[in-house]
Amino acid sequence: MIQNSIAPEFREALKVLPSFDGLSDQNLAATRKAFIAAIRNVPVTEYPDVTLEECYVPGPSGAPDVPVVIYRPKDKHPYAPALVYIHSGGIVSGTPEVDDARCRQLVNELGLVIFSVDYRLAPEAPYPAAIEDCYAVLKWVHEQSAHLDIDRDRLVIGGDSAGGGLTACLALLARDRAEVKVLFQLLIYPMLDDRTGTTVMPSPELGQYIWTRSANHYAWNAYLGKAPGSAGVSEYAAAFRAKDLAGLPPAYIGVGSLDLFLDEDLEYARRLIAAGVPTEVCVVPGAYHVFDVFIPDAPLSIQFRHSYFTALKRVLSV
C-alpha cells in the first residue's frame, strides 16, 4: 500500500516503476533488462548541442579496457571543466545509458565534458573491479587532459546510487594515491554502507520502494564476495567504512526522505563536516530512491536537480 508519507507527485509512478526487491542470481539477467527497459520508457529532452563519443580507456593492470561514453558541447571550448560520472544500478546492473538524460542536461547547461564509465559489474567481476575501472578512467582523463581539451584543475567526480557510492570510494582512493587532484564530489543518493539492512537497520519506513533491503543485501554480497556487514570490508569498497575523511574534496549529498540510504547518507555528511570537508546536503521530502530519474518533471525533481546543478556551477564557476 502506498503510504501517505510519499509526496503526491511520486505516488502514481509507483504503479509502473520497476522494483529490485527479491534480486537474486536467478533473476539478475531479467532485472538488468527490465531496468534498461524502464529507463527507455522515460520521456527525454533532446539536446542537439550535445555530442556523444564512445571510446575505450586502458583498464587496471591485467584487466580489460574500460568503455567510456564522452559527452561534449557541440561547440568545443578549450580547457572546459570535466566530470567523471559513475552510473547507478547497485553495482550489479546498469550501463551509462541509465544516466544518459542526466549527463546530457549537465553538459547542455554547464558546458562541461562528461566521461561516463561503463565499469565491470558484480557478481561476474566483484570488488575491486568496479572501483579500479573508475580510477583508471579518472587517471586517464587527468593524464590526457591537454589532448581531451579539458581543464584538469577543474576535474570533478560524481554518480548516483551505486555510482554515488563508487564516487565516494573514488574520492578516498584519489586522496590516498595522490596521483589526481579531485576538485569536488557529487554524491546523489549514494550507496555507502554495506551494513545497511544487514547489521544496521534503518527506520522501517525507509527503503520500501524501488531499492529495498533485500536488493541491497544481494548487491553488496555480490560485490564484496562475502556477507555484507562482515569484518574487514575495505573503505574503497564501502566508503562509510573509512575511519579518516580529512582531506577529501568538498561534497554535495542529496537523498530522498524515504530512501533506504537516508541514514547512512546523512551520517556520512555529518562525518565529512566534522572532518573539515565543506559539504552541502539536500533531503527531498516524500521521495524514494531514484525518484528524479523516473519522474524528472515533478516539481520536487526539478528542485532537486537545480540544487546540485547550482552546487556544480559554484565549484566550477561556469
Tell me the CA distances in angstroms from 46 to 20, 100, 139, 215, one per residue in order.
29, 11, 31, 32
Whole-number Å distance between alpha carbons of 49 and 64: 32
Residues with Cβ < 8 Å from 33, sequence gap 6 or more? none
Q: Which amino acid is at 190?
A: P
- Among 88, 116, 161, 301, the one annotated catalytic: 161
The gap from C-alpha 22 to its chain's centroid, in whole angstroms, comes to 22
Q: What is the helix (H) or strand (E) element at residue 314, kind and residue range? A: helix 299-316
> Using an 8 Å Cβ cutoff, are 67 and 59 in contact?
no
**Residue 109 DSSP SS3:** helix
* List 100, 118, 193, 259, catalytic entry: 259
Angle subtended at Cα 189 by Cα 80 and Cα 225, rounded to the nearest 5 degrees: 105
| Cross-strand bridge partners of residue 158 | 85, 186
Q: Where are the beta strands (DSSP E) in 59-110?
A: 66-73, 80-86
Q: Count other C-beta atoms under 10 Å from residue 113's C-beta.
A: 22
Known catalytic membership, residue 257: no
Cell numbers found for residue 160: 548516483
Asked about 161 being catalytic, the answer comes back as yes
CA distance 190 to 166: 8
Pairing of strands 50-57, 66-73: antiparallel
DSSP letters, 136-184, are HHHHHHHHTHHHHTEEEEEEEEEEETHHHHHHHHHHHHHHHH-SS----
Give the Cα separation of 81 and 77 in Å (integer): 9
**Marked catalytic residue, from 87, 142, 217, 289:** 289
176 among known catalytic residues? no
Positions annotated as catalytic residues are: 161, 259, 289
